[in-house]
A = this chain, B = another copy of it.
Amino acid sequence: MNRIVLILCIFYLPLTVKAQHPITFFTKPEAIKLKQLLKVYPLLNQSFTSIKNDVDKYIGVDIDVPVPKDPAGGYTHDRHKANYTLMFNSGILYNLTGNNQYAIIVKNLLLKYAALNPTLKNHPQATSNSPGRIFWQALNDANWMVYSGMAYDLVYNALSEKDRKIIEDGAFKPEVDFFTHDLKNWFNLLHNHAVWACAGVGIIGIASHNNDYVEMALKGTAKDGKRGFIALMDSLFSPDGYYTEGPYYTRYALLPFVLFANALNNSRPSLKIFEHRNKILQKALYTCIEETNLDGRFFPLNDAIKEKDYTTNELVTAIDIFWKVYGPDKNLLPIVKKQGKVLLNIGGASIAEALQTNKNIPEYFPYKTIESTDGANGNEGGLSIFRNGTGKNLSSLLFKYTSHGLSHGHFDKLGIMLFDKGNEILTDYGSVRFVGIEQKYGGRYLPENNTYAEQTIAHNTITVDEASDFGGKEATAEKFHSQKLFSSYTNLNVQVASAMEDNAYPGTLLQRTVYMLQLPGDKKIIADIFNAHSAITHQYDLPFHYIGQLINTSFSYNPFTTKQQALGKKNGYQFLWKEAEATIGDTTIQCTFLNNGTYYSISSLIQDSAQIFFTRTGANDPNFNLRHEPAFIIRKKGNNQSFVNVVEIHGKYDSINELSYNSYPSVKQINLLQNDDNYTIAEIKVDNNTLLIAQCNKDFNVDSMHFANGLTWKGPFLVWYNGKKL
């Protein structure tokens, strides 16, 4: 084949395939098959009926396409959002019922948009540098393009040539032009917003036979492949599917990836888009699922709305499309069961069948310990999620040593979180935002998101000198990532990860090693060794933000009972009421709190001296935007300082029968036998037993032999219990 023929093939072959409609969401054969199955599987039928009931209210109704005016949560925002969902659902129903009324709903709406869109300038509520036109931000316009593009394709066969031209020129072209010219830099970003933008332009391209649009979507406006959808697939995820913004945004980013990939798979199968980069999209989905709590909520890494869980529409869509593409996976059955609805595609039908035929679906997804790398090449730190326990008794410990996480990243280097039995125990605030609630700043991120939730003190990690990592500057933070030193997960009794960070605070090296231990007698213990090194004196604050009722402390403190003040003035400290403080010398202190019927105790080694603060969020919050949550903060001063803490999960409180079991911690004392550049050796008394942890601070080679403090071991760490290897 000579070069011209090759180019012709590239340009014309897809056009031939594309000439079929529908093609973006599902194909004609898929729709025909689906129609036959509608009555067969109850959940499929239920999902169909639910959509039909919603859409039927609009048959014969003159639906408003208002001039854009309001921010998120306001009328025009919500109306346009409802319109694109309505068009998409109506388009599906047209194919599954043959009822032309559904096509008319889409046609009438798209014709109204064809009249409106050419008249639009930037939205009056636009505040960002990626303003929208129909909505306050371009991102929402991209959502509109994805769904109305698919809707157009779904009813394409029912439209006249004339209407098609009016819609393509009036409704779509102004938006595509706006994205690929006015917002070109934004469109070409390597960022989740750009995934939506590319998917919108690409889906409209496929639906309207506009190869120019599709090429820009796939390869960037310059069509050189350095930007656009494929580049986004190559750069936004780490090789094992971790998305740097965290699971709340993985969920969001995954949707346009999946929808556009699905449209490409139907229209350009030769691209093998779902195979691309060793099935990176499938890896991203599974990583995102592993990043959920037992109750299905996404772990609140970086900016995250805590209520969001895997029953969200984005995960219904992704799982149901992947079920079709990659085949059924019975591990997902607990999730699809809780979702309680399916997508109206062949994957959804197959899931509905699986739910009907599988009688004993387990209650939970089979979560396992995972370690994800961060960065496109997997060399920008990572995230460890330790698991211990089965079923309802699962404990999940997160240890984050990733890169910053783009604009939604938090300054939380080496932060940890703990979940147990489905409950949040040691927590991250998440984001300060009431998405979709107009009264709360139009549903946008509230100022306290930046001033509190992103700051280091809002996280379970060290804040140095009351300043956040990287001076709280995103641009600086983006240049660096933490570094894993060693990890091991093969022995389920001793799971460990160690990481360091030396850029967040120039001149200060932070090194944290976290052990999730299962001791004899069904004891679950987390040992946390956190060393800070510096040539000069600093103030180190290590908080434990916990959810629960404080039950007991082993030490006395000075409570602020009639007047209270904020802990500090800036970098997040201004949001913490100081409820009590204590000065402690050379001992092991303990706090016990109760959360949903389980006791949790934090035992802390205090060498020399430390200050302790009990704080609660809510200061400097004139608009009542914050939840009021407690923290326990250990403050040490010096150049080199060590924090050795043990978190114990113990006992039970049965509030119905008013019975309490094992409400006291078994940890009795913590000692540091050695702590220097080479080794840290900690001794923890657990009732009458001795737990010994030896770790290397310099040589992480798994084959090196070590001799220290009378102990001999091989590799970067070893844990003994009563003299025996655990």
Contacts and interface: CB of A to CB of B under 8 A. Distances in A.
A563 interface: yes
Contact of A78 (B574, B577, B659): B659
A656 B308 contact: yes
A436 B308 CA distance: 35
A285 to B, nearest CB: 18
> Size class of A's contact patch?
35 or more
B307 A562 contact: no
Interface in A631-666: 653, 655-660, 663-664
Nearest to A591: B624
Interface string A68-86: 0000010000100100000
A624 B312 CA distance: 37
Given A437-B663, A439-B663, A658-B305, A562 B551 contact: no
Contact of A436 (B436, B438, B562, B659): B659
A550 interface: yes
B561 A436 contact: no
Contacts of A658: 305, 435-436, 443
Contacts of A580: 622
A184 to B, nearest CB: 29
B624 A550 contact: yes
Given A437-B653, A628-B628, A564 B563 contact: yes
Contacts of A73: 660, 663
A576 to B, nearest CB: 11
A580 B624 CA distance: 10
Contact of A656 (B309, B592, B663): B309
Contacts of A618: 579, 616
A443 B551 CA distance: 11
A311 interface: yes
B551 A434 contact: yes
A549 interface: yes
Interface string A273-307: 00000000000000000000000000000000101
A621 interface: yes
Contact of A592 (B439, B549, B614, B664): B439
Contacts of A312: 656-657
A293 B563 CA distance: 37
A571 to B, nearest CB: 15
B551 A663 contact: no
Pick the most buried of A73, A78, A311, A657: most chain B CB atoms within 10 A of its CB: A657
A565 B565 contact: no
A564 B577 contact: yes
A559 B622 contact: yes
A313 B654 CA distance: 12
A564 B561 contact: no
A331 interface: no
A620 interface: yes
A652 to B, nearest CB: 11
A226 to B, nearest CB: 33
A51 interface: no
A130 to B, nearest CB: 19
Interface in A295-333: 305, 307-309, 311-313
Nearest to A569: B562
Nearest to A309: B656
A565 B307 CA distance: 33
Contacts of A653: 436-437
A653 B438 CA distance: 11
A175 to B, nearest CB: 22
Given A440-B551, A594-B437, A656-B312, A561 B620 contact: yes
A619 B562 contact: yes
A390 interface: no
A312 B654 CA distance: 11
B305 A655 contact: yes
B660 A436 contact: yes
A616 B434 CA distance: 21
Contacts of A678: none
Contact of A552 (B305, B439, B550, B655): B439
Contacts of A616: 618, 628
A308 B655 contact: yes
Interface in A196-252: none
A566 B562 contact: yes
Contacts of A621: 559, 561
A181 interface: no
Interface of A: 73, 78, 81, 305, 307-309, 311-313, 434-440, 443, 549-552, 559, 561-566, 574, 577, 579-580, 592, 594, 614, 616, 618-622, 624, 627-628, 653, 655-660, 663-664
The 8 closest A-B pairs by CB, nearest first: A307-B655, A559-B622, A439-B552, A550-B624, A435-B658, A436-B658, A561-B620, A436-B660
8 contacts: A73-B663, A78-B659, A307-B656, A435-B658, A549-B627, A563-B563, A564-B564, A628-B628
